[in-house]
């Protein structure tokens, strides 16, 4: 009837614009990260199932470490050994971390909020010597586990005292536990009391019992 009926309606015009924009993005490669790391395109590592709760796994003995008795020692091949009480530990620079965790028993939990002292801060203070290529964690229940120094140097590694705004419970390793989110959770020692820098590797409790010496969930490094 009138000229308007020949033209696309308002929605049609918007759609055209949207499509053209998307076509441009496609030509330009917009939104591409340029990091073709196939493992991390997915958030859930192979063979894992997502959980909402936080399961408890340990050797069955959950040491009752009284805050006044807790000590953290940084020992071995370091320039400046450290002994901290809990008060001294809490007086160090505190940082917030957000990470997923992946347990070798096939559960993963997303978006955990941690607060504590970064591994980076400990490295800056203790100054491990060049030949200290390995880090051994020692816990109050006798548990040990080992990682390469380069793993401990990752910026998302910390000694955590809080989870989701609350002190980490005794069953989850309070007052202070290690958190190494990029590795299976057995590398994250609960009830930590000593971090040893060493020139030789020292496989820990599970590493001596058939678990992989590394623990990359994207490579499914579960068992040796
Ligand atoms: N001290 C200590 N740390 C430990 C363990 C342990 O038995 N003792 N178990 C490890 C294992 S096998 C897992 S899966 C995780 C479990 O941590 P969660 O109980 O907080 O989930 O802690 C790790 N750290
Ligand atoms: Mo585990």
- Average confidence (pLDDT) over 7-35: 60
Q: Is 212 helix (H, G, I), strand (E, B) or coil?
A: coil
Mean pLDDT for the stretch of residues 105-117: 98
d(CA 152, CA 136): 10
188, 194, 212: residue to mutate for ligand 1 pocket, most atoms within 8 A of CB: 188
What is the structure's pLDDT at 21? Answer: 64
Domain count of the fold of the chain: 1
- Read off the pLDDT of residues 49-70 as tens digits, 9 standing for 90 and up: 999 999 999 999 999 999 999 9
With beta carbons less than 8 A apart as the criterion, state whether 75 and 196 touch: yes
Residue 149 has pLDDT above 60, yes or no: yes
Distance CA 148, CA 97 (A): 21
Question: Above 70 in pLDDT, residue 36?
Answer: no
Identify whether 3 is part of a domain. no
Domain that holds residue 100: 9-219
User: In angstroms, rounded to a whole number, what is the distance separating the alpha carbons of residues 206 and 9?
Assistant: 67
What is the number of H-type helices and E-type strands within the chain?
4, 11
Is residue 2 included in any domain, yes or no? no
Which pLDDT does position 124 carry in this prediction? 98
pLDDT band at 41 (very low <50, low <70, confident <90, very high): confident
Q: Which atom of ligand 1 lies nearest, measured to the CA of 173?
A: 20
Q: Note the pLDDT of residue 2.
A: 47
Dist. CA 222 → ligand 2 center (Å) = 10
118 part of a folded domain: yes
71-76 sheet: strands from edge to edge: 82-85, 71-76, 192-198, 134-139, 144-148
The verdict on residue 63 lying in a domain is yes
Residue-level pLDDT at 81: 98
Q: What is the DSSP string of 135-181?
A: EEEEETTS-EEEEEHHHHTSTT-EEEEEETTEEPPGGGTTT-EEE-T
Maximum CA extent, the chain = 89
The answer to whether residue 135 is domain-embedded is: yes
Do residues 118 and 155 make contact, with C-beta atoms less than 8 angstroms apart? yes
Q: What ligand 1 atom has the least distance to the C-alpha of 59?
A: 7
Question: pLDDT higher for 153 or 35?
Answer: 153
In a domain, 82, yes or no: yes
* Coil, strand or helix at 112: strand
Q: What is the pLDDT of residue 119?
A: 99
Percent of the chain clearing pLDDT 70 (strictly above): 82
For the chain, the average pLDDT equals 91
Q: Is residue 1 part of a domain?
A: no
Which domain CATH number covers 14?
3.90.420.10
Residue 120 pLDDT > 60: yes
**More confident position, 11 or 177:** 177
Q: How far apart are the first and last CA of the chain?
A: 78
Top-confidence residue, 199 or 6: 199
Instruction: Report yes or no on 224 lying in a domain.
Output: no
Q: Which residues line ligand 1 (CB under 6 A)?
A: 54-59, 103, 139, 141, 143, 172-173, 185-186, 188-191
Q: What is the pLDDT of residues 151-178, one digit of tens each?
A: 999 999 999 999 999 999 999 999 999 9
* Ligand 1 atom with the shortest distance to the CA of 172: 20
């Amino acid at each position: 009837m009138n000229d308007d009926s020949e033209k696309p309606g308002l929605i049609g015009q918007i759609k055209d614009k949207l499509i053209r924009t998307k076509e441009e993005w496609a030509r330009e490669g917009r939104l591409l990260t340029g990091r073709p790391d196939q493992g991390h395109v997915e958030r859930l590592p192979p063979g894992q199932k997502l959980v909402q709760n936080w399961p408890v796994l340990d050797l069955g003995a959950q040491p009752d470490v009284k805050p006044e008795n807790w000590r953290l020692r940084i020992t071995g091949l370091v320039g400046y050994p450290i002994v901290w009480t809990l008060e001294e530990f809490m007086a160090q620079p505190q940082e917030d971390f957000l990470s997923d965790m992946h347990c070798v028993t096939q559960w993963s939990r997303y978006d955990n909020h941690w607060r504590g002292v970064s591994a980076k801060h400990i490295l800056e203070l203790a100054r491990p010597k060049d030949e200290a290529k390995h880090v051994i964690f020692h816990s109050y229940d006798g548990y040990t586990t080992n990682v390469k120094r380069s793993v401990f140097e990752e910026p998302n590694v910390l000694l955590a005292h809080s989870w989701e705004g609350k002190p980490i419970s005794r069953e989850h390793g309070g007052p202070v536990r290690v958190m190494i989110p990029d590795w299976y959770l057995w590398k994250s020692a609960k009830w930590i009391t000593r971090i040893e820098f060493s020139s030789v590797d020292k496989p820990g409790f599970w590493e001596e019992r058939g678990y992989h010496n590394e623990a990359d969930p994207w490579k499914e490094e579960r068992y040796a």
